[in-house]
């Protein structure tokens, strides 16, 4: 099958990921993204992942996290070639406030050049300050311009108003609503699916 003009072969992506140093930055006005490292697996980060307010609309809520477990997770994620995992840093304080990642949702080899994005702003006093929206914009820019990803997908529970708003504000389009596709506190809830298409790729 002919490769799309703008695509990056798997080896390129693996090399690029391998060569990303901790000093690599994708910088915006309020936050910047940098590769997440094992040193980021602090008790603070672990406390986000066990905070019911933070994880209530995520699948992370089903298991209790430990610092050791987070370290293992980061090592595994950083060793793979089908994902990029970044820390979200508040530019004003240089504090680690959340994480954002992309994973190839369709298959592990980037054949379709489609990736799934997910994020968490763990510091609750940073909610509603535009950090989530900007982090999504920055990650999307990195995926489109550097990785030459063709499309990014995202999903959230329909009751996660902040998440849906952040994706829309970052330019994502709601593609569908999957009715009663999840359960929350015993109630059936809908799932919203979003997408952003790289304008460099002609349809």
Residues near ligand COA (CB under 6 A): 54, 57-58, 119-121, 127-133, 156, 160-163, 165-166, 169
Q: Taking CB positions, which residue lies at the least distance from ligand COA?
A: 132
Q: To the nearest whole angstrom, how small is the minimum distance from the Cβ of residue 198 to ligand COA?
A: 21
- Output 13 or 126, the one with its CB closest to ligand COA: 126
**Which residues neighbour 173 within 8 Å (Cβ) at sequence distance 6 or greater?**
194, 195, 196
> What DSSP string runs through 105-150?
SS-TT-TT-EEEEEEEE--GGGTTTTHHHHHHHHHHHIIIIII--S
**Closer residue to ligand COA, CB minimum distance, 114 or 136:** 136
CB of 170 to ligand COA, least distance (A): 8
* Shortest Å distance, C-beta 183 to ligand COA: 16
Judged by beta carbon, residue 30 or residue 148, the one nearer ligand COA is 30
Tokens of 197: 């298409």
Smaller CB separation from ligand COA, 13 or 97: 97
Sheet with strand 151-157: strands edge to edge: 26-27, 31-35, 83-90, 95-103, 114-121, 151-157, 187-197, 173-184
């Amino acid at each position: 099958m002919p490769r799309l003009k703008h695509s990056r072969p798997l080896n390129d992506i693996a090399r690029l990921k391998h060569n990303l140093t901790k000093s690599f930055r994708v910088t915006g006005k309020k936050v910047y993204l940098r590769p997440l490292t094992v040193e980021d697996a602090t008790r603070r980060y672990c406390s986000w992942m066990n905070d019911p307010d933070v994880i209530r609309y995520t699948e992370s809520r089903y298991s209790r996290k430990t610092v050791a477990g987070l370290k293992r997770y980061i090592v595994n994620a950083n060793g793979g070639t089908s994902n990029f995992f970044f820390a979200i840093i508040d530019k004003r304080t240089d504090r680690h406030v959340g994480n954002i990642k992309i994973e190839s949702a369709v298959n592990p080899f980037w054949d379709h050049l489609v990736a799934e994005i997910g994020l968490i702003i763990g510091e609750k006093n940073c909610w509603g300050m535009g950090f989530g929206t900007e982090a999504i914009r920055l990650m999307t820019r990195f995926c489109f311009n550097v990785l030459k990803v063709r499309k990014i997908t995202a999903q959230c529970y329909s009751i996660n108003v902040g998440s849906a708003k952040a994706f829309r504000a970052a330019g994502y389009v709601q593609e569908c609503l999957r009715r009663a596709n999840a359960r929350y506190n015993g109630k059936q809830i809908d799932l919203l699916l979003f997408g952003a298409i790289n304008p460099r790729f002609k349809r």
